């Protein structure tokens, strides 16, 4: 090739390093030639497909020759009702990841800055860079967001701030008081994206409801997802809640049919199945206890987490332990790409899965 095609890409995209997802189960099966692999790497719900969602998808199948409802009316109506929102505040996305992308596309350009925390979700800098803008990464405090330092990092070029509450991959959370104080310090023309992908799991008295805060702060945009507690990661459904003007802007930049018809019907069904959600939360709480008490017994330090995953400190052996777990058919998430090379992140699974991971871990620790 005589042409340098990479040089043709937009400047921010030339230097962009793609997101590293957790290893898919089938990939490890192919590599190891084994059939019995478990994945505790991408914070998916371990309960799997619910019978109600499966039924709803079956019933919707005959219609897939038609385009989906491009406005997602029924799902938006159900979400509005559940959370006490107006439908004109809602934007649906192909995962909440798409919301981040739409926000970057709509509100960022070359010369603009977006503020985020160290050890926060890896997708934020990617969407910012892809839009030609500059990610400004603020050092973390105790593995969480240092909101005072983030407020200090705002400049006249700042257009967006990303906050994950709780945060991935550390599992830390911010209180209502902390977030309110931050919002008071942020000018109205700086948009704050509050990513609540794990909100359903949090059981803390002072954990803020982002939708309530949004009513008070018009520059706040809250995102949630069906990928975690609702167990629909493979179908890709997320949503954003913002004021009607911001929602109108997001609606201009999204693809007309960004959610497929099966995803829409599955999310609507999953939202209605509150018993399933409760089961998911109960399994998670028990699994957290199971894992963290074992880590304690093994004298391994963890970062306290309010989510469906926990990051554990394994020191210089983390990489070797990760490889040993893979050989034992257990996929967890190394955090070297998050600049946390001494940690592994474990998604909380079913009791037997957690046990299998712990057995493999202990075997490696004593070897």
Ligand X SMILES: *Cc1c(COP(=O)(O)O)cnc(C)c1O
C-alpha 301: how far from chain center: 24
Count of residues in contact with ligand X, rule CB under 6 A = 14
Cβ closer to ligand X: 95 or 349?
95
CB of 297 to ligand X, least distance (A): 28
Which span sits near ligand X by CB under 6 A: 95-103, 152-160, 204-212, 256-264?
95-103
Residue from 97, 129, 170, 261 touching ligand X (CB under 6 A): that is 97
168 lies in the binding site for ligand X (CB under 6 A): yes
* Pick 116 or 328: Cβ nearer ligand X: 116
Question: Closest separation between CB of residue 111 and ligand X, Å?
Answer: 26
CB of 240 to ligand X, least distance (A): 11
**CB nearer ligand X, residue 283 or residue 360:** 283
| Helix (H) or strand (E) run with residue 239 in it | strand 238-241
Q: In what order do the strands lie in the sheet with 191-195?
A: 90-93, 238-241, 220-225, 191-195, 158-164, 113-117, 134-138
Q: Which residues contact 137 (CB under 8 A, 6 or more apart)?
A: 116, 117, 118, 125
Q: Are 47 and 233 in contact (CB under 8 A)?
A: no
* Size of the chain, expressed as the number of residues it contains: 367
Instruction: Measure the CA–CA gap between 141 and 116, rounded to whole angstroms.
Output: 13
Question: Which residue's C-beta sits nearest to ligand X?
Answer: 95
Please state the closest distance from residue 305 (CB atom) to ligand X, in A. 12
Contact pattern for ligand X over residues 16 through 45, marking x by CB under 6 A = ---------------------------x--
- Compose the 211-250 pattern: x for residues touching ligand X by CB under 6 A, - for all others: --------------x-xx----x----x------------
Phi, psi at 2, each rounded to 5°: -95, -15
**Burial classification of residue 220, based on how many CB atoms lie within 10 Å of its CB (0-12 exposed, 13-18 middle, 19 or more buried):** buried
Residue number, 39 or 228, with CB nearest to ligand X:
228
Per-position x/- string for 176-205, each x denoting binding to ligand X as judged by CB under 6 A, each - no binding: -------------------x-x--------
Report residue 171 CA to chain centroid gap.
11
> Which two three-digit tokens encode residue 145?
């967001």
Question: CA 318 to CA 79: how far, in whole Å?
Answer: 41
Nearer to ligand X, 271 or 360 (CB): 271
Task: Enumerate binding residues for ligand X (CB under 6 A).
Answer: 43, 95-97, 121, 164, 168, 195, 197, 225, 227-228, 233, 238
């Amino acid at each position: 090739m005589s042409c340098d095609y990479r040089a043709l890409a937009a400047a921010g995209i030339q230097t962009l390093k793609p997101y590293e997802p957790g290893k898919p189960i089938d990939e490890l099966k192919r590599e190891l030639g084994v059939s019995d692999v478990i994945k505790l790497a991408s914070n998916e719900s371990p309960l799997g497909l619910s019978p109600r969602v499966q039924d709803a998808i079956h019933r919707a199948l005959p219609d897939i020759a038609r385009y989906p409802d491009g406005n997602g009316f029924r799902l938006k109506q159900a979400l509005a009702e559940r959370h006490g929102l107006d439908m004109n505040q809602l934007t649906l996305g192909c995962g909440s990841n798409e919301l981040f992308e739409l926000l970057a596309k709509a509100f960022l350009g070359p010369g603009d800055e977006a503020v985020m925390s160290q050890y926060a979700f890896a997708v934020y800098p990617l969407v910012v860079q892809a839009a030609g803008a500059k990610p400004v990464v603020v050092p973390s405090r105790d593995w969480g967001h240092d909101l005072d330092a983030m407020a200090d990092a705002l400049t006249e070029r700042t257009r967006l701030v990303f906050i994950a509450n709780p945060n991935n991959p550390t599992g830390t959370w911010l209180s209502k008081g902390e977030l309110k104080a931050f919002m008071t310090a942020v000018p109205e023309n700086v948009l704050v994206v509050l990513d609540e992908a794990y909100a359903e799991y949090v059981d803390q008295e002072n954990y803020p409801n982002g939708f309530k805060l949004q009513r008070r702060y018009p520059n706040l945009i809250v995102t949630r997802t069906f990928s975690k507690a609702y167990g629909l990661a493979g179908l890709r459904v997320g949503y954003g809640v913002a004021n009607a003007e911001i929602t109108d802007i997001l609606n201009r930049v999204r693809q007309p049919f960004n959610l497929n018809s099966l995803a829409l019907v599955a999310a609507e069904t999953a939202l209605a199945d509150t018993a399933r959600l409760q089961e998911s939360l109960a399994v998670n709480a028990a699994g957290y206890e199971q894992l963290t008490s074992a880590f304690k017994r093994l004298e391994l330090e963890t970062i306290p987490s309010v989510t469906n995953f926990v990051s554990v400190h394994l020191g210089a052996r983390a990489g070797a332990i990760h490889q040993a777990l893979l050989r034992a058919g257990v996929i967890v998430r190394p955090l070297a790409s998050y600049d946390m090379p001494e940690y592994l992140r474990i998604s909380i699974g079913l009791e037997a899965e957690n046990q299998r991971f712990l057995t493999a871990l202990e075997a490696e620790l004593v070897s």
